[in-house]
Amino acid sequence: MKKRLWLRVLLILLLLIAVLAGGAAWWIRREIQPLETAFQPQLIRLRDAKTPEEMAKLLSERKLLRNPKLLTFWLEWKKKEQIKEGDYEFSPDMSMTQIADILIHERFTQNWVTFPEGWTFARMAERIEERGIGDKEAFMKLCREPERFNETGFPLPSDSLEGYLFPNTYRIPPGSGEEEAIKTLLGGFKTYVYEPYKEEIQKSGFTLHEILTIASMIEKEAFHQKDRPLISAVIHNRLKKRMPLQIDATVLYGMGQWKSRVLYEDLRHPSEYNTYRRQGLPPGPIANMGLASLKAALEPASVDYLFYVAQADGYHRFTETYADHLRAIREIRGKP
């Protein structure tokens, strides 16, 4: 009798253990499942190393992970004490174990590429080749053939895509090709520039191409955000007075080189981008600008400045008259 009772208790305990084990297995299986079924890649850029707990919290906040505590436990159990700085790519359709594998083996992504504000398409072409996306020369050739991209949904110029390749961080995997890269950059322009600012540009009194040209000059001339609307005001004021813009950055663009200081001999360069010799706007943008410069082009400061000169700290000194401008130059350069 006692033996039967003991066997019954043992069977109940075994059944209970099996139920608990099954329940735990079901819970763990559920917790490590992806949050979504769609592939929606996100870039996680770590500038500093993180602990497993910090990384798990970040992934949870980005809606990429179901259970941050479980990932923390898993990483620590796998002896991963620190997540190394670098660029990682995750998607909500990844399971927790797939995410952990990327972190444990430090599988840095090469799928994301950043194009800083103020870069020309020639500089972008170098980045395209550096990251194995495509050939530099082929990229630049396509940038000079805007008619190849007429289905963008916004007007393009006839000779160059300069100014229309929006600087940002994009997912462009190695081997994607030059044409795909350009379509991605043009897509960024449509999303961040054309659609949000289309009506404002139409009301500005300038064409899209002209506003981009003004914005690109601001981008290349301004080092500090405070100066952008002031430089924009100088450009607008000079255009109204039909004065030559005399923008150093346009001269350098026409020369095909960038340097810290423009020499007097450079000002004689016979380029259509030389705004010392040519009145009005140059033929087109001289760089691919960011939103801050675009906004400054659309909203210049309400001032009467016509001149500015750069100071050692990167800021500019603005003046209304040529006499004051010359005085500012002497003071900045320490000449009486």
- pLDDT tens digits for range 25-67: 555 566 668 777 788 899 999 999 999 999 999 999 999 998 9
Last-in-domain residue among 83, 104, 125: 104
- pTM of the prediction? 0.81
**The pLDDT of residue 152:** 87
**The pLDDT of residue 25:** 55
Q: Is residue 30 part of a domain?
A: no
Residues 243 and 321 in one domain: yes
**The pLDDT of residue 12:** 63
Least confident of 32-46, 204-218, 233-247, 286-300: 32-46
Three-state SS for 86? strand
Residues 262 and 327 in one domain: yes
Q: Is residue 253 part of a domain?
A: yes
Helix (H) or strand (E) holding 329: helix 322-332
Sign of CA dihedral 181, 296, 244, 198: positive
Sort strands 169-171 and 307-310 into parallel, antiparallel or unpaired. unpaired
Residues 176 and 279 in one domain: no
Q: What is the number of domains present in the chain?
A: 3
Closest C-alpha to 137, from 146, 128, 149: 128
pLDDT-derived band at 11, boundaries 50, 70, 90: low
pLDDT-derived band at 137, boundaries 50, 70, 90: very high
Closest C-alpha to 155, from 130, 186, 123: 186
Classify residue 192 as left (phi > 0), alpha (psi -120 to 50) or beta. Answer: alpha
For residue 255, with 0-12 CB atoms within 10 Å meaning exposed, 13-18 middle and 19 or more buried, which class applies?
middle
Identity at 250, one-letter amino acid code: T
E strands, 12-81, where? 42-46
Q: State the Cα–Cα distance between residues 98 and 264, nearest whole angstrom.
A: 60
Residues 312 and 227 in one domain: yes
Q: Is residue 14 part of a domain?
A: no
pLDDT-derived band at 104, boundaries 50, 70, 90: very high
Residues 94 and 120 in one domain: no
- Mapping DSSP onto H, E and C, the string for 259-298 reads CCCCCCCHHHCCCCCCCCCCCCCCCCCCCCCCHHHHHHHH
Q: Show the domain range for 253.
A: 218-332
- For residues 160 and 17, which has the higher predicted lDDT (pLDDT)? 160
What are the angstrom distances between the C-alpha of 259 and each of 110, 220, 332?
A: 31, 12, 20
Q: What are phi and psi of 38, to 5 degrees?
A: -90, 145
Q: Is residue 301 part of a domain?
A: yes
Residues 227 and 191 in one domain: no
Percent of the chain with pLDDT over 70: 90
Q: Measured over all CA atoms, what is the biggest interatomic distance in the chain, rounded to whole angstroms?
A: 116
